[in-house]
Structure formats: structure tokens, C-alpha cells
Chain A
Amino acid sequence: DGGITQSPKYLFRKEGQNVTLSCEQNLNHDAMYWYRQDPGQGLRLIYYSQIVNDFQKGDIAEGYSVSREKKESFPLTVTSAQKNPTAFYLCASTGGAPVGTGELFFGEGSRLTVL
């Protein structure tokens, strides 16, 4: 079945360590997104990519980095510069031209806890 796969589902990290969250989609979508979710704050956009080898900062990009070397993959690295990285991270994608009707398809999420 087509969909978005995020891994790992749960991740623990010590302060000062970088960690990379994986996001893979087989929906043949051009655009991919990373959101951060904190209780009571909804979803906030970290980075997005509309095409391979191109990406843009979202509203809270500081302390994060991404790459888009393949259409189906959009990994997110949470660096040690991110001051409060404990959160639920959601990857999403959308297709169409240019970005269709904007409906996002979401992965199951990755919960990162910094110890």
C-alpha cells in the first residue's frame, strides 16, 4: 500500500547529540514537509521541500537540518543546537501540480525524548 513511513517511532537522545529521523514515501509526491507537534501548540512547520535537491525553511527551522537527494526520502536531523528538541515529529507529503489541492498525507510520527 502507498504511504509514508517514519522511523524510528520512539527515540531517546542524550543532550549534545545529533539525531536523524527518517521519512520515506511511495506516493510519488513531489512535496514533503516536516512538522513539530507540542501539546496545545498544534503543528509547526520546520522545513519543506517541493522538489528534489531543493528545500526551504519553515517557521521554526533553527536547530534542524534536512536533505532531499531522492524524491521519496526527506530525512530530518535534529542537531545539538536545537534547545528544546523533545517533541513529536510528523512528516507529510502532497502531490499534484504545483502542489495539488494541498491535502497532506501524514506518517505515523516519531517521538523524540532528550534525556
Chain B
Amino acid sequence: AQSVTQLDSQVPVFEEAPVELRCNYSSSVSVYLFWYVQYPNQGLQLLLKYLSGSTLVKGINGFEAEFNKSQTSFHLRKPSVHISDTAEYFCAVRRAAGNKLTFGGGTRVLVKP
């Protein structure tokens, strides 16, 4: 079975500064990888996904992530954050041939003015 570890439970960051959210996964087979964002008391919204091809994936709201197979990582980055990026971010993995998504524990981002 696959698993996902988000190494930081909370990340405080100043407005207009860069942010990186770390995600590592474990799986013995090919996987698809996802980042979701959740605003308070709402459902999750897809930021970006890696299925195959280029290891650098660009998503919505200026986010990007890089798939590193040798390090089994899929870290999320944004070069300059806004107050509106304050939210919880979830990394998730699914076996390419599977049908269940496994989520990490989440990283809460707090953007300070």
C-alpha cells in the first residue's frame, strides 16, 4: 500500500515571500501525484497533478511542483505568496492502476502581512 508524508504540519510565511511545502511518498509501483488546497470549512480543490511526462508541473494560482522519482518526493512551491494563499494543503498519491487516493496529513500555511 502507498503512504504519504507531509513533513511540515504548519508553515508561517510573510506575504510576497516564497514557500515550499514538502511531500514524500512510498510506493513500489507507478503512481499519480496530486496537491489539493482546502480553505476553512470547505471541500478540497485541485491545485495540480502529475501523471507522466515533464517532472515540473504547473498548477493554478501560481503554484508548481516537481516530481522526483529517485527521492520519492513531490514538493509544492510558490515564488511569491499572497494573504489569500492562507489555507491547508494536502499531498495525495494514487497507484496508476488503482482506484484509491491516499492523503498526507496536511500542511497549514499562514501568510502574514
Number of contacting residues on B, CB 8 A? 25
- What's the interface size class on A, roughly? 20 to 34
Interface residues as binary, B21-55 with A (CB distance below 8 Å gives 1, 0 otherwise)? 00000000000101010000111111001010000
Contact B32 A106 (CB under 8 A): no
List B contacts of A44 (CB < 8 A). Answer: 103
State which of A12-20, A67-75, A77-85, A94-102 sits at the interface with chain B: A94-102
The winner among B6, B98, B105 for most chain A CB atoms within 10 A is B105
Contact A104 B101 (CB under 8 A): yes
Cβ of A41 under 8 Å from chain B: yes
Contact B90 A42 (CB under 8 A): yes
Residues of B within 8 A of A (CB): 4, 6, 9, 32, 34, 36, 41-46, 49, 51, 90, 94, 98-106
